[in-house]
Amino acid sequence: MTYYNFAAGPAMLPVEVIAQIKEDLPVYKSSGMSVMEISHRSKLYQDLYKETKADILDLMKLDPAEYDVLFLTGGATQQFTTIPLNIARKYRRIALVDSGHWAQRAGEDAQKLPNLEVDTVASAKDNNYTAVPEIPTVYAKDYDYVHITTNNTIMGTAYRDDQVPDLDLPLVADMSSNFLGQVYDFNKFDLIYAGAQKNLAPAGLTVLIIKKDLLVKHDDLPGYFDFATEAAKKSALNTPPVFQVYVAGLALKWLKKQGGVAGIAKVNQEKADLLYNTLAETKNFESKVDENSRSIMNVPFVTGNPDLDAEFVKEAEAHHLLNLKGHRLVGGMRASIYNAMPLEGVQALCDFIKGFDAKH
């Protein structure tokens, strides 16, 4: 029986990508070296870097003359600090849209910087984070940027493209858990960042897409934390995560074969609809997320009985349906169905849900 990994991250990679990694692991492109050994100064890596960067911008339909791509480390969590260090320079004030745990964390870390204000301009607290809050279009104060989290991994909520307005202020988005898995007009955003371990590559790589007019060198910042310095050094101020960039490059090629973001988003919607509809037809299971805010990447669900939840997770693992335990803040179960999760995996989960439901 095939195993299906529903982990929120690190998450599964496409089968085709893993097969290519196995082929390149001993020797990469007749170099005599493993892909894990090649130098970030070599032409092998420089070609890989350029192609991966170009593929990201191409898939997002962004103009290379207007946007740059940085390959960083430290996870999206580090960007909670480095983004305000680089961009919250004029007013020293950020507008935060609180849609869940990771949005809150972004605000808390930014607030720790000296002489920086973080104002929560919208929050889903009143609905217990079961629906995304509306993003304001009018602001009473001057802000350096507005920060949103497009997909909330823990709560299972997400913004659709039509819920993201065009703003006069710079718009910054943490897209870690639906990066290149859902259609957006990416030109609405001035900066997008994402940890790669959900939809793109193994943990250890953070992708940051930034408008070039925001790449201003700041002499008061260490080079490693200065976006302009990193861009000038082509993301190689220190040794970049070469292997992760290589895997990301393979995943991007695979994504293009699926029809790009629009093509994979259609499949992702089909997977999500299948799972949500199955849950709705059961007597024991429930999705508490508002229909207009449902994530197509992360689907939390509960029975309302912690013992029954635990039994479900244990039996699911015996059926090779892995990592379905929900986050500790929400409980229950969570199925993360990122780009690499095939429709067959979601169907296998739905069949198991129906069988389990019939027995209880």
Q: Is 314 annotated in the active site?
A: no
Q: Is 254 annotated in the active site?
A: no
The answer to whether the beta carbons of residues 211 and 190 sit under 8 Å apart is yes
For residue 137 the two structure tokens come to 């279009």
Point out the catalytic residue in the list 24, 98, 144, 174.
Answer: 174
Residue carrying the six token digits 């009985």? 305
Point out the catalytic residue in the list 55, 68, 98, 102.
Answer: 102
For residue 99 the two structure tokens come to 């849609």
Residue carrying the six token digits 């074969």? 257
Please report, for residues 21, 81, 256, 320, the alpha-carbon distance to residue 121 in angstroms, rounded to integers and kept in the order given: 45, 19, 37, 43
In this structure, the number of other CB atoms found within 10 A of the CB of residue 308 comes to: 16
**DSSP 3-state assignment of 174?**
strand
For residue 325 the two structure tokens come to 């335990």
Q: Is 198 annotated in the active site?
A: yes
Point out the catalytic residue in the list 24, 68, 198, 309.
Answer: 198
**Rounded CA gap, 93 and 84, in Å?**
9
**DSSP 3-state assignment of 350?**
helix
Please report, for residues 92, 95, 296, the alpha-carbon distance to residue 123 in angstroms, rounded to integers and kept in the order given: 21, 11, 21
Which backbone phi and psi does 122 adopt, to 5 degrees? -160, 145
For residue 96 the two structure tokens come to 């935060």
Residues 6+ apart with CB under 8 A from 336: 6, 7, 8, 9, 11, 153, 177, 198, 297, 298, 299, 323
**Rounded CA gap, 56 and 248, in Å?**
9
| Residues catalogued as catalytic | 102, 174, 198
